[in-house]
Amino acid sequence: MNFALLALAIAAFGIGTTEFVIMGLLPDVAHDLCVSIPTAGLLVAGYALGVAIGAPIMAMLTSRLPRKRALLILMGIFVLGNFLCAVSGNYALLMGARIITALCHGAFFGIGSVTAADLAPEGKKASAVAMMFAGLTLANVLGVPMGTALGQAEGWRATFWAVSGIGVVAFLALLFLLPANLHAEPANLARELRAIRSVRVWTALAMTVLFSASMFALFTYIAPILQGITHVSPHGVSLTLLLIGVGMTVGNFVGGKLADRRLSATLLGATAVIGVLLMVFYWVSASVIPTELTLFVWGAVCFASASALQLNAMTVGSAAPSLIATMNIGAFNLGNALGAWIGGLAVASTLGLHGVPLSGVAISIVGLVVTGAFVWTAKPKPAVAEAIPASEYETIISA
């Protein structure tokens, strides 16, 4: 189990690095390709939409393959996409390459998270999913800061060359460490279509979209905010991304354990705290130390929610776990795109970069309402006593 989870975590590390590193390189990419910051931010949205649209398609295309073979094919697409990013000569080509890279993302995390959960005993499934997602958090601790520093020193294309190399290592790890007998039950299209008609499934997916949107409204523009408002140097941006990544790593493991114990409370509490932290960031963003502390806690709380949201979707959609898990990864990335777009609107408004955390607060409030409704409707309703027929009532009174 540990070796299999290690292979999945290595692959998640590569995917997480290529997804998040663009945030630290956004000013460099915008300058090199002669586009504005909001336009460069659409590279985040384009990748996210590629995941959201490609996730269910790739899940269905790989549904009859053994899980190991499917994961290897998806990692091959990842290597190809990052190679194309590295050789892209203009904005349009880079956008296309990012979308190709995104095709592997949703299906890989969907199939991988179901595999991780199946390898774990009852009561440890969220922790197993969190172990896989640890690769994603370590990408923020190591991959993103190092990739940002490499891109600032050698040009942003060098970062994508390095990520392509990580993809090759991940492919080999999956090939040699993942068990060969990971066979999924053949897809039953009718059953899976019935599963995705559930209102609770779509509510769970909506919760994921709103959570991710509130996170990425800020995270997409974190480098411009740190440089323009907090007045942090480019090297300081890399260190701040490292600090956020450490917070995400801590939050990921804590969140997995909390979700195994009290899933609903974890979802509600994290959503509320994220909104509060975004408001705090709005107030303190001009001061370096309060900003760094707030971002550390914010990163921890955000990734405390990730494995909980994934387990929640898999639980609600248990009739079609691989498809629903993949759709939930797509929902994460649809939220990424939505958050990047809303954050871009804030940047383009009269508030400028100061409006970005406020846009995240607004999304968090909507997310809290949806999560509260989801949790409330899941509670068992108190039984209502049946009315006693008049004839029986008279018999009871006589007795």
Listed ranges 266-270, 304-308, 380-384; the one with the highest mean pLDDT: 266-270
Listed ranges 44-53, 223-232, 317-326; the one with the highest mean pLDDT: 223-232
Which of 118-132, 219-233, 381-395 is the least confident region? 381-395
Alpha-carbon gap, residue 26 to 37, rounded angstroms: 7
Q: What is the largest CA-CA distance in the chain?
A: 95
Alpha-carbon gap, residue 61 to 107, rounded angstroms: 10
Which of 13-17, 135-139, 264-268, 297-301 is the least confident region? 135-139
Grouping H, G, I as helix, E, B as strand and the rest as coil, residue 221 is: coil
- The domain locations on the chain are 2-378
Q: How does the average pLDDT of the chain come out, rounded?
A: 83
Alpha-carbon gap, residue 20 to 4, rounded angstroms: 24
| Mean predicted confidence (pLDDT) in 362-390 | 73
Half-sphere exposure of 266 (CA within 13 A, CB side): 27
2-378: CATH class: mainly alpha
Which of 16-25, 37-46, 145-154, 384-393 is the least confident region? 384-393
DSSP state for residue 126 in the 8-state scheme: H
Alpha-carbon gap, residue 251 to 219, rounded angstroms: 16
Is residue 161 within 8 A of residue 35, CB to CB? The reply is no
Tally Cβ neighbours within 10 Å of residue 89. Answer: 9
Grouping H, G, I as helix, E, B as strand and the rest as coil, residue 380 is: coil
Which of 248-257, 344-353, 377-386 is the least confident region? 377-386
